[in-house]
């Protein structure tokens, strides 16, 4: 009996030890990833414009690229994550920045092309690995638009106060937390994007779909606990059976030809609804080519 108790005690102690090591590892890794400084690059120079067509393109990009899904309907910043399980992640207020002059045009490029703040520290969750792939034309339009926005709401300090669960999910890459690591900081903004109904233009636009539909667009499991499975959108899936009109109406109105209603909370089709017919057709041609 005594021996049994001794061994149970040793096993329990080992388990407690393992849990402690795991907790220390997660905390250290998280802090190291979030406090890393990224250097060795210069933000590219953009020629900002006040031209109304440039500003209109920039505004449309804030819908298509999901900025408003995370940063709030008026881009005023909000508690993007705020649950007892995950903790609090505030998104930045993107309005009033140019007028207040606290951000230079190069600061926008630091965030959108390099995924870092003015101190070259990484932004948490911000999908900068996607915005980094914007063309120079689109990046210029986006920044020109954002930089002239009048203030909505108020500008508050950054706040990322996450739980151990969120830290563990981030460290083990189950949450797209440290996207800055995925960016090629030496690459310049693309200048060779041709806007036409071609698979290559479709592939350029489809960058916004990768986060959920996966890099090969074959879909997979839920992107976070509580979300549905993500279907494939290549020629092997339903998209391979749909006409262009059916594809277009699915993304414009959130209802598939099979009659399934797509909940915007799971599949953010309003971002695609803001695309032009040409953009949707390029996407269609691309998905059917793979
Ligand atoms: C999935 C949600 C999400 C999307 C989509 C998103 N952002 Fe963010 N963004 C964040 C979060 C979260 C932060 C705050 C990160 C932090 O404080 O570490 C942030 C921070 C920023 C910053 C702050 C930079 C700084 O120096 O503090 C800028 C600029 C920005 N985002 C612009 C954009 C633009 C423009 C878009 C659309 C093209 C966009 N974001 C799309 C989540 C998102
Ligand atoms: C935030 C995650 C997310 C993003 C980003 C996203 N999707 Fe989806 N998409 C989903 C989910 C989840 C479903 C399945 C919804 C359901 O079953 O109700 C879906 C369904 C679809 C469907 C219907 C497929 C079918 O077989 O019925 C199409 C088409 C589609 N997405 C296209 C796109 C395109 C194009 C983009 C990029 C412009 C995109 N999605 C971006 C999550 C996403």
Q: Is the pLDDT of residue 230 over 70?
A: yes
pLDDT band for position 37 (50/70/90)? very high
pLDDT at residue 1 in the model = 63
Atom of ligand 1 nearest to the CA of 117: 26
What spacing in Å lies between the alpha carbon of 285 and ligand 2's midpoint? 16
Higher-confidence residue of 153 and 4: namely: 153
Residues sharing a CB contact under 8 Å with residue 232, sequence separation 6 or more, in sequence order: 213, 217, 218, 219
CB 231 near ligand 2, within 6 Å: yes
pLDDT at residue 103 in the model = 87
Average pLDDT of the segment spanning 245-272: 93
Ligand nearest to the backbone CA of 120: 1
What spacing in Å lies between the alpha carbon of 264 and ligand 1's midpoint? 20
CA distances from 256 to 198, 220, 260 (A): 23, 19, 5
Q: Is the pLDDT of residue 101 over 80?
A: no
Residue reference for tokens 């262009």:
244
* Buried b or exposed e, range 253-273, using 16+ CB within 10 angstroms: ebebeeeeebeeeebbbbbbb
CB 220 near ligand 2, within 6 Å: no
pLDDT at residue 166 in the model = 92
CB 64 near ligand 2, within 6 Å: no
Q: Please tell me the number of Cα atoms within 13 Å of 253 on its side-chain side.
A: 10
Could you read off the pLDDT of 62-72 as tens digits, one per residue?
999 999 999 99
Average pLDDT of the segment spanning 262-289: 94
Measured by CA distance, the residue closest to atom 10 of ligand 2 is: 267
CB 66 near ligand 1, within 6 Å: yes
Measured by CA distance, the residue closest to atom 28 of ligand 2 is: 233
CB 266 near ligand 2, within 6 Å: yes
Ligand nearest to the backbone CA of 229: 2
Find the range with the poorest average confidence among 135-139, 169-173, 247-251, 277-281: 169-173
pLDDT band for position 95 (50/70/90)? very high
CB 102 within 8 A of CB 117: no
What is the pLDDT of the chain when averaged over all its residues? Answer: 93
Measured by CA distance, the residue closest to atom 26 of ligand 1 is: 117
pLDDT at residue 66 in the model = 92
Average pLDDT of the segment spanning 157-171: 91
Q: Please tell me the number of Cα atoms within 13 Å of 107 on its side-chain side.
A: 12
What spacing in Å lies between the alpha carbon of 267 and ligand 2's midpoint? 5
Dihedral-angle region of residue 278 (phi above 0 means left; psi in -120 to 50 means alpha; beta otherwise): alpha
Q: Is the pLDDT of residue 19 over 70?
A: yes
């Amino acid at each position: 009996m005594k021996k049994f108790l001794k061994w149970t005690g040793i096993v329990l102690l080992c388990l407690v030890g393992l849990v402690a090591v795991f907790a220390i590892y997660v905390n250290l890794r998280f802090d190291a990833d979030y406090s890393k400084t990224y250097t060795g690059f210069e933000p590219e120079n953009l020629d900002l414009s006040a031209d109304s067509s440039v500003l209109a393109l920039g505004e449309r990009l804030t819908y298509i690229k999901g900025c408003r899904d995370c940063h709030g309907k008026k881009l005023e910043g909000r508690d993007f994550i705020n649950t007892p399980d995950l903790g609090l992640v505030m998104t930045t207020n993107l309005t009033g920045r140019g007028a207040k002059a606290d951000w230079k045009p190069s600061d926008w490029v630091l965030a959108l092309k390099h995924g870092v703040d003015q101190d070259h520290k990484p932004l948490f969750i911000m999908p900068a690995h996607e915005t980094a792939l914007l063309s120079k034309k689109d990046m210029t339009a986006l920044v020109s638009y954002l930089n002239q926005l009048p203030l909505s709401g108020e500008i508050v300090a950054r706040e990322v106060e996450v739980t151990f669960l969120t830290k563990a999910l981030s460290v083990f890459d189950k949450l797209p937390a440290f996207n800055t690591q995925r960016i090629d900081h030496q690459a310049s903004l693309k200048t060779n994007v041709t806007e036409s109904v071609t698979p290559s233009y479709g592939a350029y636009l489809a960058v916004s779909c990768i986060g959920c539909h996966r890099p090969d667009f074959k879909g997979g499991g839920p992107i976070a606990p509580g979300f549905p499975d993500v279907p494939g959108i290549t020629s092997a899936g339903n998209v391979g059976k749909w006409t262009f009109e059916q594809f277009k109406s699915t993304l414009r109105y959130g209802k598939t030809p099979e009659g399934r209603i797509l909940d915007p909370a799971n599949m953010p089709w309003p971002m695609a609804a803001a695309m032009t017919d040409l953009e949707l057709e390029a996407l269609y041609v691309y998905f059917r080519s793979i």
